[in-house]
Chain A
Amino acid sequence: MELAIRTWAIFWKDLLIELRTKQGLNAMVFFAALVLFLFSFAIGPDAALLRQLAGGLIWVGIAFTGTLSLGRTFQTEELAGGLQYLQLYPGEIRAIYLGKVLGNLTVLLAVEAILFPAAGVLFQLDLWPHAPGLIGIAVLGSIGFSVIGTFYAALTVHLRARELMLPLLVFPALVPLLLAAVNATGALLLGDSMGQMGGWVRLLVAFDIIFFVVCTWIFPVVLED
């Protein structure tokens, strides 16, 4: 119970900071839209092709945007000279991890709430009838992303060249998540002729559970002394 309270405290503090300026959030949304535009230009004006690739483009856009914002996960603590302060914080160190995961997850979901409709417009997709399924996939995928990303963000916070190391560690880890999210989204939007959706959703859930357990369990080792 104490863990939950501390987790929420850290999450709420970060959320308030984020909401006060909203700069980070705005930048992320614009960046995500830019990525979608770049993809569209790279692929060309073939509407049918774009519609077919939409699932993949959206999720790669989310991956890029999310990874860029992961670097800021511990920024407030660092700027205040406070990373050590966090570690001296009495009580369960895992609360730091869980609170940060919640924070990243919330921000990511907020960005996706704008990104998905934007993609619907750009790629000429009618998303509304699939909204419940899309929201479900988005939540599951974002959970996995936040779990992995926050973990590696903490690990690389003291490394040299961490802006490079964070994507380098996160992207291979995201491969199963991306495969599952992209294919589930595609099956939802383009018709699930081979009934694969169930399998992909189960993979998403398994991914989330496995890495949530592993990363939470091993997190204290990362932030030692």
Chain B
Amino acid sequence: MDFSGSSGGLGRIRGLGGLALLAMVAGSLTALWVVPADALQGEVQRLMYVHVPSAWLAFFAFFVVFCMSVLYIVQRKPRWDLVAVSSAEIGVVFTALTLAQGSLWGKPTWGVWWVWDPRLTTTAILLMVYVGYLMVRSFADDPEKRARWSAVVGIVGFVQVPIVYLSVYWWRSIHQPPSSPRSADPRIVAVLLFNVAAFTLVYAYMMARRFRLAKTEQRLEELGPDHE
């Protein structure tokens, strides 16, 4: 895909953005008005339709960071590093969003702002790994070293995440049974999947723009310190 910013490329990206926006509007409207409310939790359960997609994108973005990190280590092409940092930054946004949504869902449902649910806890740890990744980049000046070290962090960090999830799941399952039963209503599944798709389009659009920013900043960095 051509992200170079030529008028054709930019037009396509704008189209993607427009499509993402439409999908998000449709997704939120159906989540709020078309789908039936949950019998047990009431209206607040509709937060699932933004919370689950956010969480999905948070983890998917980090998977992309992992893949790009591996690609960079193997091929040493700066392009992979730029894609990695783009996905990392966007991933932080989705991760933080997921945690905030979780709190807003938890307070009326369980009376507390935080629960040690395995998925939520793993998401919090994921945020810390992301932050570590971005901070390593901010403390390394040489572009090659920055790309290499953050790629290593991206790879080792990705290995950590499933192990964290398993350990927290085990820890919690000892003290309480696993989470809530899932409804089999096809409308719920359909709207949920639609929202996941909408969020994915948003991610794709953000990636296109963030990657363009990364490429431009790389060119500026190449030109010399007075250009940054």
A–B contact (CB under 8 angstroms): yes
Q: Which residues of A contact B (CB under 8 A)?
A: 151, 155-156, 158-162, 165, 168-169, 171-173, 175-176, 179-180, 183, 194, 196, 199-200, 203, 206-207, 210-211, 214-215, 218, 221-222, 224
Instruction: Determine, out of B43-51, B101-109, B125-133, the stretch whose residues face the partner at the interface.
Output: B125-133
CB distance from A172 to the nearest CB of B (A): 4
Instruction: Determine, out of B80-88, B165-173, B202-210, the stretch whose residues face the partner at the interface.
Output: B165-173
A169 to B139, CA, bound (A): 13
Task: Select which of B73, B148, B159, B170 is within 8 A of A199 by beta carbon.
Answer: B170
B131→A168 contact, CB < 8 A? yes
B155→A169 contact, CB < 8 A? no
Task: Select which of B159, B170, B174 is within 8 A of A203 by beta carbon.
Answer: B170
Size band of the B side of the interface? 20 to 34
Q: Does B145 contact A (CB under 8 A)?
A: yes
A155-B152, A221-B152 known; A211-B159 Cβ under 8 A? yes
Chain A residues with CB below 8 A from B149, complex form: 155, 159, 222
Q: Does B135 contact A (CB under 8 A)?
A: yes
Chain B residues with CB below 8 A from A179, complex form: 167-168, 170-171
A175 to B128, CA, bound (A): 11
In this complex, what residue of B is CB-closest to A200? Answer: B170
B132→A169 contact, CB < 8 A? yes
A155-B153, A159-B140 known; A207-B163 Cβ under 8 A? yes
Tell me the number of A-to-B contacts counted with CB atoms below 8 Å: 85
A161 to B125, CA, bound (A): 21
Chain B stretch 102-156: residues in CB contact (< 8 A) with chain A: 125, 128-129, 131-132, 135-136, 139-141, 145, 148-149, 151-153, 155-156
A-B contact pairs, 18 of them (CB 8 A): A155-B136, A159-B136, A159-B140, A159-B149, A161-B139, A165-B136, A169-B136, A172-B132, A175-B168, A176-B166, A179-B167, A194-B174, A203-B167, A210-B159, A211-B156, A211-B159, A215-B156, A221-B73
A203→B139 contact, CB < 8 A? no
CB distance from B151 to the nearest CB of A (A): 8
Chain A residues with CB below 8 A from B41, complex form: none
Chain A residues with CB below 8 A from B125, complex form: 172, 175
A199 to B171, CA, bound (A): 10
B139→A159 contact, CB < 8 A? yes
Q: Does B216 contact A (CB under 8 A)?
A: no
